[in-house]
Chains A and B, each alone.
Chain A
Amino acid sequence: MTSFIKVSSVLKKIIIAVTGISLFLFLIVHLLGNITIFTGSPPGRDFNAYAHFLESFGILFTIAELGLLGFFGLHIITALYTNLVNFKSRKSRYAVSSFAGGKSKKTVASTSMVITGVVVMAFLIWHVLQFRLGPYYETIYSSVNNGEPVRDLYRLITEEFSSIWVVLGYTISLTLLSLHLGHGFWSSFQSLGIYGKTFTRITYSVSYLLGLIISLGFLVIPLYIFWIN
């Protein structure tokens, strides 16, 4: 623990950036996988087949899951610790705080990373309990896995997303996720020392858009399932 605290603030930000970018890539893969929800007949066949395909990797799948958990853990712990130090570095607060504008990249999103982060973390725990560790249903059709039944995750999502409260919870969490990614994406490159006049301008200008696209992409699913029910 002492050796972790001793790591310089710059290196801690590098850890946050590397894990952040990796989690960002994971989100893209997760989003692409989710497309299978909309394909196949009967509905959910492709989605269940995709989930079964991932699980069929056995030990490798478990290692990947644990790795992902490790990345999330490292990202969260480093960020929370850094925030604690940042909080201590200004004990007396300003009576008035403002946005300087111009070249500043300070936004509501950039100043609320720890809040959006904590909400997303809570959402993540809920999401994993809801689906990965949720009730186990088996498919009743035989077009996947040579007729052997597989886990019917599609049935679980249709059940979960039939509740307006669940859909509302997802909407709020994903909106905050979009803000988190909006500052996080371009900021990761800057934290890694990757700066170029054009490069930084482009990554900054697409950052919030990417965050919005990813969040909307995820949000389509609960909304779509709620709609067809």
Chain B
Amino acid sequence: MSKSINLKLQVWRQENEETSGDFHYYSMNEVPVDISFLEMLDILNENLTKEGVEPVSFDSDCREGICGTCGFVINGIAHGPQAKTTVCQLHMRHFNDGDTLVIEPFRATPFKIVRDLVVDRGSFDKIIQAGGYVSINTGNGPDANSILIGKDDAEEAFDSAACIGCGACVASCPNASAALFTSAKISHLLQLPQGKVEERARVKSMVDKMDEEGFGACSNHGECEAVCPKGISIKNIANMRRSLIKSIVK
């Protein structure tokens, strides 16, 4: 028999974007410590369904920490207290018996609340559409290894490309800035020869889109890096700024 804990949950419930939400209080008894946070919410939802109460809506997909679908704020920290972890990979062993957990959706004006803990992160897609790609104007894509790339460059680009677009950076930023997300995408392509070609147009267009969507400005709090499930560095934000300066000066 594995260890179990009792918890008090304070969950944000909101019908839709138009209505105002509030906190609902639930007691969870004998939660096995080996299950994940989302599995704990699954149990809560089963109980709520039996009671005839509408279950708590939350996003999830792969449940192995690689897709970026899940995410909410636990006690003021996006994805909860465990570093480099999404809520689906956050296990209940990181909590203590008797803890009160305040669960809120990712809050930012561009992230509209769909229901309860589900937010619409479509603004991220719009930023990508503004330039987060390499144009292939004709024919097939080139062969995989036709352009040789040094190991260090490949590693650096991959570190930036590890971003899963979950939105925790925006959620944790005191200014609700999307600088870490946008810069990771810019930086990823910037470090590869294929992406260098469109660098100037890309950085300008993606930064403008980021502002247009209503995200705040980055004030270098670095909270985004600390909560990022993939540990994306604020070095990417510096890369984006350098790239933008270059696009103006040149």
List the interface of chain A (C-beta within 8 A of B): 8-14, 82, 85-86, 88-106, 110-111, 113, 183, 186-187, 190-195, 197, 200
Contact = CB atoms under 8 A, between A and B. Distances in A.
B216 A193 contact: no
Interface string B209-250: 011001111111111011100010011011111111100100
A100 B226 CA distance: 6
Interface string B75-108: 1111000010000000000000000001010011
Contacts of B110: 89
B170 to A, nearest CB: 9
B39 to A, nearest CB: 23
Nearest to B110: A89
B37 to A, nearest CB: 16
B155 interface: no
Given A89-B216, A90-B109, A190-B238, A8 B207 contact: yes
Contacts of B64: none
A90 B207 CA distance: 19
B32 interface: no
A8 B215 CA distance: 11
A186 B102 CA distance: 33
Residues of B contacting A: mostly: mixed
A113 B104 CA distance: 26
A183 B109 CA distance: 26
B117 interface: no
Given A187-B219, A193-B242, A195-B235, A94 B207 contact: no
B156 interface: no
16 contacts: A9-B207, A11-B244, A13-B241, A86-B176, A86-B216, A86-B217, A86-B219, A100-B77, A102-B83, A186-B220, A190-B234, A190-B238, A191-B220, A191-B241, A193-B240, A195-B234
Given A90-B176, A111-B174, A193-B242, A9 B102 contact: no
A113 B67 CA distance: 35
Which residue, A90, A93, A96, A193, has most C-beta atoms of chain B within 10 A? A90
Contact of B241 (A86, A96, A193): A193
B109 A105 contact: no
Given A14-B241, A111-B174, A193-B241, A8 B235 contact: no
